[in-house]
Amino acid sequence: MSVDDLRGRFEGLFERDVTLVLAVLGTIYLAYILAGVAFGYELRGQLNSIANLTFYIGVFGMLALALNLHWGYTGLFNIGIVGFMGIGIYVTALVSKPPVAEGGAAQVGGFGLPLFVGVLAGVVVAGLFGLLVALPALRLRADYLAIVTVAFSEIVRFTMMSRTFQTFTVPDTIDLWLFTFDPAADTVGLGGGGGLILNYTDPLEALLRALFLWEPYLGFVAFVQQNFISNNPKPVIDGVVYGIVLLVGVGLFYLLLSRTGKSPFGRVLKAIREDEDVANALGKDTDRFKLTAFVLGAALMGLGGILWYSGRGSITPPSFRPNITFFIWIALIIGGAGSNTGSFLGGAIFAGLLYEGPRYFKNLVETAFELGDAPRNFGEAMAGFASLDPMPFVLYTLDSISQLRLVIMGVVLIWLMHNRPEGLLGHRKETASSVDLARPGSGGSTGNPAAADGGEEQ
């Protein structure tokens, strides 16, 4: 098979992926815009809804991609994702928050360094904790690794909540052997159960200033204010632009991970996933490869956590419960572990349908029908059935949609594991081989690289 032929096939694949991604995103966005029309949103409301949707598509897409490096490529069963996310954003906060003296209402300060230093530190520290977990844990069986990582993420959360780490006083000067160091910080810490107020520069502003786009951006906001949204348009535009930044971030994650996957390093990872003993026997130091992959993935999860929470204004420990980890797992399984395009698609579908969808559905129903007040508890809901009136139950169900969406997620997960465990695009799981493994004569027709198990699934 010639090089041109291969390139042609790759381009074909790329084109189809782009079409697929655009089709899925287009459908989701169209549904949300139509819902917005039904709600009678003005431009402002529509933009808000789009910004919110884009935000969740971005973060779930990113984190699913990072998880794909662990599970899809290397076969590492990590269910401590939220721990790395939390470490990322907490370190960023510690490094970048201004000292208490300048910080207004915040009880706990930080070192007051620029935000990009904070983000960098957050990513690096998340990676280091990845190393700390992986060094001992990678020798374990997959299910033990799962339990260790989820225990780790809970330990991280306990640490965030604990009074012991709530505040520390930083001395005025620190003597380090030869030179004396004078930190700006006065009181730092993890804030305990109350969490931290993120009173550093707004991340979007910091980014745009760094790119020298801040003045043009303000000009654009003024333009929008004059022509479209007269009443304080900045928060809305901020949201939309931050969403776009996140999507660019997803693109970068995608490029990084697909390049990694195609590199010799990535091929070893896939070989480990398929059979670690064989990879070992072929002279690869599999422990080392697993370690590197785990650390890289953990750092990306840290970055994902930073991008998720840095614009939130404040962070509290309950946000970092293991549920988020499982959300990302569901996203990855919907999309198909092993495929980067699939990971992003899974993130987008999860965000649009399962995470945000039920709330929109509830609002739609409430807009369409004039509904009374929902019963306060299940008993009152069931009482309606005594007089053959299902309405209280329906109302209660709608009112509890935020809990029921987790039930739906659970059922979807079970259904997927029964009927389509490989997800949307998991059949495209890339092979560990650098050459085409398809049998002559039969391989070329499908255009897909053969699946890892010799193409039996196709």
Partner 1 sequence: MSVSETYVRYRRTLSEEPLAIGVVLVALWMVWSLVTGLASGGIQISSLASLIWDGLLRGLIIGLAGIGLSMTYSILNFANFAHGDYLTSGAFAGMATSYLIAGIGENSVGALLLVGAGGSVFGGALGIGITTAPIAVVFGAVLAGVATIALALVIDRLVYRPIRDESGIALLITSIGVAFALRYLLQFVFGAGVRGTTAAGSVPRVNVPAIDGTFRVTAHDISLVVVAAGLMLGVHLLLQRTKLGKAMRAMSDNEDLARITGIPTEQVIRTTWIVGAGLTGVAGYMFVLWKGTLGFNDGWLLLLLVFAAVILGGIGSIYGAIGGGIVIGLTASVSVIWIPSEFGRAAAFMVMIVILLFKPEGIFSGRSTA
Does residue 163 touch partner 1 according to CB under 8 A? Answer: yes
Instruction: Count the site residues for partner 1 by CB under 8 A.
Output: 46
Residue 186 DSSP label:
S
Does residue 412 touch partner 1 according to CB under 8 A? Answer: yes
According to CB under 8 A, which residues from 37 to 76 bind partner 1?
none
Phi, psi of 180 (to 5 degrees): -100, 140
Cα separation, 306 vs 30, whole angstroms: 29
The three-class DSSP label of residue 196 is: strand
The three-class DSSP label of residue 418 is: helix
Give the residue with the Cβ less far from partner 1, 10 or 144: 144
Give the residue with the Cβ less far from partner 1, 161 or 245: 161
Cα separation, 171 vs 187, whole angstroms: 9
Cα separation, 343 vs 399, whole angstroms: 31
Cα separation, 48 vs 420, whole angstroms: 34
According to CB under 8 A, which residues from 90 to 149 bind partner 1?
136-137, 139-144, 146-148
Neighbours of 227 (CB within 10 A): 9
Does residue 359 touch partner 1 according to CB under 8 A? Answer: no
Does residue 164 touch partner 1 according to CB under 8 A? Answer: yes
Does residue 413 touch partner 1 according to CB under 8 A? Answer: yes
Does residue 291 touch partner 1 according to CB under 8 A? Answer: no
Cα separation, 295 vs 133, whole angstroms: 9
Q: Which stretch binds partner 1 (CB under 8 A): 95-103, 180-188, 413-421, 447-455?
A: 413-421
Give the residue with the Cβ less far from partner 1, 158 or 223: 158
Residue 90 DSSP label:
H
Among 80, 20, 81, CA closest to 346: 20
Does residue 403 touch partner 1 according to CB under 8 A? Answer: yes
Give the residue with the Cβ less far from partner 1, 166 or 314: 166
| Token reading at 24 | 């899925």
Determine contact, residues 452/275, Cβ cutoff 8 Å. Answer: no
Residues 392-405 as b/e (b if ≥16 CB within 10 A, e otherwise) read bbbbbebbbbeeeb
Among 216, 407, 433, 444, binds partner 1 (CB under 8 A): 407
Does residue 151 touch partner 1 according to CB under 8 A? Answer: yes
Cα separation, 252 vs 230, whole angstroms: 35
* Alpha-carbon separation of residue 255 from 10, 66, 219, 229, 250 (angstroms): 15, 12, 32, 36, 9
Among 345, 284, 416, CA closest to 274: 284
Determine contact, residues 312/145, Cβ cutoff 8 Å. Answer: no
Q: How many residues does the chain have?
A: 458
Among 30, 37, 155, 222, binds partner 1 (CB under 8 A): 155
- String marking each residue 331-350 x if it binds partner 1 according to CB under 8 A: --x-----------------
Among 414, 433, 442, 444, binds partner 1 (CB under 8 A): 414
Does residue 1 touch partner 1 according to CB under 8 A? Answer: no
Token look-up 């884009």 returns 54
The three-class DSSP label of residue 139 is: coil
Give the residue with the Cβ less far from partner 1, 139 or 259: 139
Does residue 77 touch partner 1 according to CB under 8 A? Answer: yes
Nearest distance in Å: CB 412, partner 1: 7
Give the residue with the Cβ less far from partner 1, 152 or 242: 152
Nearest distance in Å: CB 335, partner 1: 14
Q: Where are the beta strands (DSSP E) in 52-206?
A: 168-169, 174-176, 179-181, 187-188, 196-197
According to CB under 8 A, which residues from 383 to 402 bind partner 1?
383, 400
Does residue 8 touch partner 1 according to CB under 8 A? Answer: no
* Alpha-carbon separation of residue 290 from 130, 133, 325 (angstroms): 11, 12, 20
Does residue 376 touch partner 1 according to CB under 8 A? Answer: yes
Nearest distance in Å: CB 396, partner 1: 8
Nearest distance in Å: CB 367, partner 1: 23
According to CB under 8 A, which residues from 416 to 455 bind partner 1?
417-418, 421
Give the residue with the Cβ less far from partner 1, 157 or 267: 157
Does residue 161 touch partner 1 according to CB under 8 A? Answer: yes
Does residue 318 touch partner 1 according to CB under 8 A? Answer: no
Does residue 154 touch partner 1 according to CB under 8 A? Answer: yes
Rule CB under 8 A: which residues touch partner 1?
Answer: 77, 136-137, 139-144, 146-148, 150-152, 154-155, 158-159, 161-164, 326, 329, 333, 376-379, 382-383, 400, 403-404, 406-407, 409-414, 417-418, 421
